[in-house]
Amino acid sequence: MARLIDDLLSLSRLEMKPYLPPDAKVDLRLVVGDVIASLAPLAADTGVTVERQLGDAPLIVHGDRDELFQVFENLLENACKYGQSGGKVVVSVRRPEGEGQREVAVGFRDFGPGIAAEHIPRITERFYRVDVEASRGHKGTGLGLAIVKHILTRHNARLAIKSEVGKGSEFTVYLPLGARTP
């Protein structure tokens, strides 16, 4: 119940300030590394190995470190919980490829059961659950991806979801690289 209240309050605060862009400089590699470290016990408990592909150079974006931490924490936690049957989660931070590309991609790839295509458009809705019974077993509130969506909107970022039943899922956050959000 306390987690549900915390998530509802967090979502409410985010909804009150969706167009106030954060302007601090954040190194995504450091934030993602901190998230991986903080969720190491969960990964161990669920039997998941987290593989890092973070690169060597800093990747600076304008953002709110705590909010981005919350986004990445939610995505990694979901990958560990719902993709645990795959035994591995790959976390990657990728620089933009090609001339003129100004987005950095942060991906969370699991090798679990995957998500059927009909659920993907609704997965960031409040309280939406792909599998109600499985979700109850993982003690989620059904608000995590809705919170992710609101934080990313505030950061002028986007979330891409790719999944295939039986092969796993990948959630990728695309953030503007180095440029101040509008």
Q: What does the pLDDT look like over 19-41, one tens digit per residue?
A: 667 878 999 999 999 999 999 99
Alpha-carbon dihedral 68, 72, 74, 78, rounded to 10 degrees: 170
- How high is the pLDDT of residue 19? 62
**In this predicted model, what pLDDT tens digit does every residue of 147-170 receive, in sequence order?**
899 889 889 999 999 999 999 999
Number of CB atoms found within 10 A of residue 98's CB: 5
Higher pLDDT, 55 or 9: 55
| pTM, rounded to two decimals | 0.83
Position of tokens 């990657």?
A: 92
Backbone angles phi, psi at 124, to 5 degrees: -95, 5
Model confidence at 13, in pLDDT bands (50, 70, 90)? low
